[in-house]
Amino acid sequence: MAYHYVPIDASDRRLAAAALLAVSAGACVGVALSHTTTASALYASAPAAVQTQPAVAQGVAPAYAMRAQAPRAADMTPEGLVAVESDRSVPFTVETTAAQPSFTLWGLLALPVIGAIVSLFYRLGNHRTLPEMQKLGPVPTGQNPLGIPADYYTRLTMAAVTAEYTNVKSNAIFEEAKTIMPGGVSSPVRAFKSVGGNPIVFDRVKGAYCWDVDGNQYIDYVGTWGPAICGHANDEVLDVLRETLVKGTSFGAPCALENVLAKKVIEAVPSVEMVRFTNSGTEACMGMLRMVRAYTGREKVIKFEGCYHGHADGFLVQAGSGVATLGLPDSPGVPAGATAGTLVAQYNDLASVEELLKNHEVAAVILEPVVGNSGFIPPTKEFLVGLRELSTKYGALLVFDEVMTGFRIAYGGAQEYFGVTPDVTTMGKVIGGGLPVGAYGGRKDIMEVVAPAGPMYQAGTLSGNPLAMAAGIKTLEILQRPGSYEHLEKITKKLINGILDAGREAGHEVCGGSISGMYGFFFCKGPVNRYADATKSDTAKFAKWHRMMLERGVYLAPSQYEAGFTSLAHTEEDIDRTIAIAREVMKLI
């Protein structure tokens, strides 16, 4: 845990200034004394016994400069050697003068004494005792161990975190980026459009922390949008990457590591009997969509308002106003024909799903089992069980998009957590250990329609990349260790409860929740059961919250409609510090 010792308020800044002035005054006095004649006269009048006296010393030193043609000692007689040594000797005389005392040194030695005396009198005059040097830590309810009011103790934390915040370099890099990349980013949400201001530009990450190019350190609750479940740059993952890297960065051919990761996924995820690796979650969902249509011979699919399945044309659909309707394109460039086969239902609303199933031949019902792209919205158990029953009843496949929840809310994903098994699952993020990866898998009879086993074509040059496979294998090994998911559950629940309590104490309407290492909250009374409920959140207030948390060292997803993530690297101290900062910010917004 970092300790910060910084000025707290205006009176303390005056104290620091007074101390510096005192030291400066001492320096001036010392320098002045070193140049006065009074001190020299006092020295001259001292008894001779205590004065340094001049002295003269004489002697003989060897002359080391030799003539080039001097004879060798081995060729000479003893008498000759004596003559040479005499010739090399040089007489010398050393004369010293009486030393003068160094009053500059005396003056400098006096500086700490002068400064300490002045600072002491200044402090006594203010009658204050602030715990500036006290270790920063969690803020207990009501009082901290020093007996200082909790709100004041939190103010110390805020001052410490914000003392030197700057984003000059980030701004410069981002302004340049906007001239060479659309919006200055490689993915839209990174531009901070939802929260205002410019984004920070990352320099490095490690564990639960990230650093920007200006040197600011943050506790990170984005985790590269989910993959960093073991913490950024985990040492064990880095070790296997180094070992794999020397063998090559890409093969474009079968790799033994694919078999290892595939078997681990099949063992973990209840619905998966075979798996196909891709390079991203979007690519996995594109392959899945084509596969379920090929397997069923039907074209229409049901998705849910507010659920995100990548940026493929067929998924960029906006629902009608509060009712399940035929989808309309939600992005320019998407032809109407691309979304004609996409139907939209309401999350946590079985009636809206059955209405569509009754009236259309549906290939698959596709959903995020826990919504993360409209903020954190959990399902009811009845909803998931009902979807399983309705899909089977009407001959549709049930697909869980577990790109976000897979290996995060449980080792076997949401389907293990809720006990509901779909027919097909898409995955990504965690299974690549922080490297680009995606996958889709399911029942063997369904997966065998994929080429080359079957007629449904899907391919990828970098699919099964050895680096991603190696990182994924090690990440899953770490997650299988005892206590991993218990730790995620404990710290994430403490974090979200602390944030919600802080909001309510400050008079805000807030609601939210968590499952294992995934959480989220909204600035509204709630409950939030679907996307329409989430849109009632005060996004302007969230934008203020986000910026003020950022400036105090907490990096959060830059959108009200994104879930947050914790990792095995987050500690109790990280959570306590974040809650203390949240408490202060909630009072200010």
Can 5 be counted among the known catalytic residues?
A: no
In sequence order, the 6+-apart residues with CB closer than 8 A to the CB of 570 are 208, 219, 231, 491
Distance (Å, whole) CA 216 – CA 434 = 22
Cα within 13 Å of Cα(532), Cβ side: 12
Nearest CA to 233 out of 216, 257, 209 is that of: 209
Could you tell me the pLDDT band of residue 389, with boundaries at 50, 70 and 90?
A: very high
Average pLDDT over residues 75-95: 41
The Cα 303–Cα 32 span in angstroms is 83
Q: Is the dihedral of CA 324, 328, 331, 336 positive or negative?
A: positive
Q: Distance between CA 320 and CA 345 in Å, rounded?
A: 9
Q: Is 393 one of the annotated active-site residues of the chain?
A: no
Nearest to 411 by CA among 472, 316, 484: 484
- pLDDT, one tens digit per residue, over 126-146 is 433 333 333 333 333 333 333
Q: What is the pLDDT of residue 110?
A: 56
Structural domain boundaries in the chain = 161-220+484-588, 237-480
- Give helix then strand counts, H and E, for the chain: 19, 18
Of 153, 209, 308, 417, which is the active-site residue?
308
CATH architecture of the domain 237-480 equals 3-Layer(aba) Sandwich (3.40)
- Residue 458: DSSP 8-state: -
The model's pLDDT over 446-496, given as tens digits with 9 standing for 90+, comes to 999 999 999 999 999 999 999 999 999 999 999 999 999 999 999 999 999
pLDDT digits (tens, 9 = 90+) for 559-576: 999 999 999 999 999 999
Instruction: Based on the residue annotation, tell me whether 401 is a catalytic residue of this protein.
Output: yes
Beta bridge partners of 60: 91
Cβ of 449: how many Cβ atoms within 10 Å?
A: 17
Q: Kindly state the average pLDDT of the residues 514-520.
A: 98
Give the separation between CA 579 and CA 572, rounded to whole angstroms. 11
List residues bridging with 300 in a β-sheet. Answer: 362
Distance of CA 297 to the CA centre of its chain: 45
From the list 387, 402, 424, the residue with the least C-alpha distance to 516 is 402
pLDDT of residue 164: 75
Residue 133 identity: M
Tokens 């010739």, residue?
Answer: 87
Residue of 401, 423, 533, 574 marked active site = 401
Which pLDDT does position 78 carry in this prediction?
38
Q: Which of 264, 300, 303, 429 is catalytic?
A: 429
Q: DSSP alpha helices (H): ranges in 74-199?
A: 78-88, 103-126, 150-162, 168-180
| Residue 60 three-state SS | strand
Going by C-alpha positions, the residue among 264, 280, 537, 255 that lies closest to residue 404 is 280
Mean pLDDT, range 294-312, rounded to an integer? 95
Measuring CA to CA, how many Å separate 561 from each of 377, 431, 489, 537? 10, 24, 22, 9
Residue 329's pLDDT is what? Answer: 59
pTM of the model as a whole: 0.73
Fold of the 161-220+484-588 domain: Aspartate Aminotransferase, domain 1 (3.90.1150)
- In our burial notation (b when 16+ CB lie closer than 10 A, e otherwise), range 245-276 reads eeeeeeeeeebebbeebbebbeebbebbebbb
Residue-level pLDDT at 144 = 37
Beta bridge partners of 343: 302, 326
Average pLDDT over residues 52-77: 41
- The CA angle 542-546-551, to the nearest 5 degrees, is 150
Which pLDDT band holds residue 13 (cuts at 50, 70, 90)? very low
List the one residue out of 376, 251, 255 whose CA is nearest residue 307.
376
pLDDT (mean) for 95-106: 45
Confidence of residue 18 (pLDDT cuts 50, 70, 90): low
Percentage of residues in the chain having pLDDT higher than 90? 67
Nearest to 577 by CA among 139, 175, 105, 34: 139
